[in-house]
Every structure is written in C-alpha cells, then in structure tokens.
C-alpha cells in the first residue's frame, strides 16, 4: 500500500494543490479579519464578546472551505482516473481494486 501511495504521489503533481491550500487558508484568515474590521469601523465595538466566538467563526469557515477542497481533490484524483481511462488499465494489474481506490482516498485524506 505504501508503494502504491508513493507511485501516486509521483504521478500526480500536487504543487498546484499546495498553492490552492495556502490561498484557501489566507482567504479564510482575511475573511475573519474583514468581519472584525468592518464591525469595528462602523460601531467602534468589537463584534465578538469572547475569543472563543472568534475562533468558532474561523473554525466553521475553515471546515466548510476544506470540505469543498477535499471534494474537489477526490474528484480530480479518483474520478479523473476513470475519465482518462487509466482506471481500466490499473484494474488489469494483479492488485485488489479495493487497495487501489483505498490508496487514492487515503492519499487525499492525508493531504
């Protein structure tokens, strides 16, 4: 299974994925700062009474963004194999289909 993951990492180019990951993180941070700044500029009061409320908003925003990101990544890695026809070729190898698909899903979850 480790060898399959190494092969998959060599096959897929994840530099664009890492750039997207960093940009999503910066977007979420900027959005939370924008919420705080816009309310502070209008009223002069801080929008959150405790730090936990601020972290809750940030946490929800990060979770939503990364759930969408994981869905796109799964579609690109797993479904892309079926679109290009590589999955048919992979299924001719003497490796279990469960292992092949499990390896791809495990790779996406680790990223």
Torsion region of 93: left, alpha or beta (phi above 0 gives left; psi -120 to 50 gives alpha) = beta
Domain range list for the chain: 2-110
Task: Give the mean pLDDT of the chain.
Answer: 79
- Of residues 28, 45, 23, the one with CA closest to residue 36: 45
Q: pLDDT digit string (tens) for 62-108?
A: 888 888 888 888 888 777 777 777 777 777 777 787 887 788 788 77
User: The dihedral of CA 17, 21, 27, 28: what is its sign?
Assistant: positive
pLDDT band at 21 (very low <50, low <70, confident <90, very high): confident
Between 37 and 60, name the one with better pLDDT.
60
pLDDT band at 6 (very low <50, low <70, confident <90, very high): confident
pLDDT band at 35 (very low <50, low <70, confident <90, very high): confident
pLDDT at 84: 74
């Amino acid at each position: 299974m480790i060898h399959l993951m190494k092969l998959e990492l060599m096959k897929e180019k994840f530099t664009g994925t890492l750039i997207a990951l960093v940009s999503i993180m910066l977007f979420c941070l900027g959005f939370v700062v924008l919420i705080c700044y816009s309310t502070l500029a209008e009223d002069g009061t801080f929008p959150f009474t405790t730090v936990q409320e601020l972290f809750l908003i940030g946490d929800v925003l990060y979770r939503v963004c990364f759930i969408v990101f994981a869905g796109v990544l799964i579609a690109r890695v797993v479904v892309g194999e079926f679109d290009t026809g590589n999955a048919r070729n992979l299924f001719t190898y003497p490796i279990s289909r469960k292992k092949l698909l499990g390896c791809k899903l495990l790779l996406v979850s680790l990223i």
